C-alpha cells in the first residue's frame, strides 16, 4: 500500500486557462524523478494514458476539476498533495 511519502504532486501548465493547468499525483516508487514531460510529449496520442500510467501517474486533474472538487470540499487547496492522495485512496486508485 502506498503512503503519502511515496507520492509527489506535480503541476504542469500548458497555457493561461484553468483547463491548461494540470495536477498529477505521482507514484515516486515508479518515477522517483516524477513525470518525464519530454518523453510524455513524444508519446503516441493513442497510448497517452498508458504512458502516463507507466510513469507512475496515479491521478491527473486539470485546474477546473481541482477548483470544483475544492468547492465541494473533496480537495483542500491549501493541502492539495495530501488531499489528492486521500481522494485517490478513497476512490480505489491504489
The pLDDT of residue 70 is: 97
Over range 28-57, report the average pLDDT. Answer: 92
Report pLDDT digits (tens) over 64-86.
Answer: 999 999 999 999 999 999 999 99
Q: Which of 39, 37, 8, 36 is nearest to 24 (CA)?
A: 8
Residue 37 — φ and ψ, nearest 5°?
Answer: -65, -35
Over range 13-35, report the average pLDDT. Answer: 91
Whole-structure pTM value: 0.90
Task: Count the domains in the chain.
Answer: 1
What share of the chain has pLDDT > 90, as a percent?
78
Its domain, for residue 83, covers 4-90
Contacts of 1 (CB under 8 A, 6+ apart): 94
Amino acid at each position: 500500500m502506498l503512503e503519502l511519502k511515496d507520492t509527489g504532486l506535480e503541476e504542469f501548465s500548458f497555457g493561461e486557462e484553468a483547463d491548461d493547468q494540470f495536477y498529477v499525483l505521482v507514484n515516486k516508487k515508479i518515477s522517483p524523478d516524477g513525470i518525464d514531460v519530454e518523453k510524455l510529449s513524444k508519446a503516441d496520442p493513442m497510448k497517452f494514458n498508458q504512458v502516463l500510467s507507466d510513469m507512475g501517474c496515479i491521478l491527473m486533474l486539470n485546474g477546473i476539476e481541482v477548483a470544483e472538487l475544492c468547492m465541494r470540499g473533496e480537495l483542500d487547496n491549501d493541502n492539495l498533495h495530501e488531499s489528492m492522495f486521500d481522494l485517490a485512496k478513497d476512490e480505489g486508485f491504489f
